[in-house]
Structure 1
């Protein structure tokens, strides 16, 4: 399933969503901190998806060309029922200081200092690739999960 992750950046901070608004029983992201993003729609490029998802989840409507591709991640059999293979295109985008962020139905949005990101309740696999996102280092990788635990991973930094 193609999807995107968007890490919006502003003055040494990254916009993260705390998945605290949905019914906890039905949301396997409940309680976690994530980048923004979601599934690609039919006939939509990953960059178009990144722009749409950022707008839908935060109210930020930035120019499509301002979204920078940074990585590609594969998540085989990701979900409690081992039924979904995800391929996530990772983007970063700079957000002007004056731009206002709106909340959404999936959770509360917060500008987190880069240095505080590792201490958040992240998916364990996110902790493996987020240092590359924060350092703006291109990468590719695969992260395998068993439930909420990473069973193995491979991440390669691209030069």
Structure 2
């Protein structure tokens, strides 16, 4: 019997041509260890995507989003290709935000840093993240992206729908 998919949000907060990113260096058992990612996380039971987004951003950054925009949904599949029922499937709701209030707090999951958008591709990020960063730059419309990773974390395939 296959597992239920994971539901998550991810937000890239923007200011002065920079993204607020989290360098995931504080947890030992972390699939994102040493990588840079946006802020967000797993849904709590009964939450809508927007409720999850607002709660996770507040918990991780201390910021309250005033204005945000849903940009797409990213379907991640990762794990052993020979055991399809054991692979992890995650649906990630992707947002951007340009208006927020509050002061950035210390985060127990990683270090928060403002990164120039032009430098993002040179950071240690997932290969698939480069695809959705490009889509965020090139498109205003809502997109759907499917990323399939091997058990070792190698991007096997990607498809924009």
State the TM-score, normalized to the length of structure 2: 0.85
Alpha-carbon offset, residue 130 of structure 1: 1.1
Alignment-derived partner of residue 73 in structure 1: 74
Give me the whole-angstrom Cα distance separating, in 1, the residues matched to 2:79 and 2:154: 11
| Matching of residues 106-125 of structure 1 within 5 Å | 106-125=109-128
Higher radius of gyration, 1 or 2: 2
Q: Which has the higher strand share?
A: 2
| Aligned residue in 1 for 2:3 | none
Q: Distance in 1 between matches of 2:105 and 2:59?
A: 9
- Give the deviation of 1:136 after TM superposition: 5.5
Which aligned pairs between 1:16-55 and structure 2 lie closer than 5 A? Answer: 16-23=21-28, 26-55=29-58
In structure 1, stretches of 5+ residues that fail to align are none
- The question of whether the paired residues in 2 share the 8 Å contact of 1:114 and 1:134 is answered with no
Distance 2:12 2:154 in 1: 23
**2:108 paired with 1:105:** yes
Q: Could you say if the C-alpha distance between residues 92 and 78 of structure 1 is closer, same or farther in structure 2, counting changes exceeding 3 Å?
A: farther
Runs of 4+ in 1 over 6 A off after TM superposition: none
1:141 to 137, 142, 145: 145
Determine whether 1:132 maps to 2:135: yes
Contact 1:75-1:144 at 8 Å conserved across structures: yes
Question: Secondary structure of the equivalent of 2:88?
Answer: coil
TM-score if structure 1 supplies the norm length? 0.86
Alpha-carbon contact 2:35-2:126 (below 8 Å) kept: yes
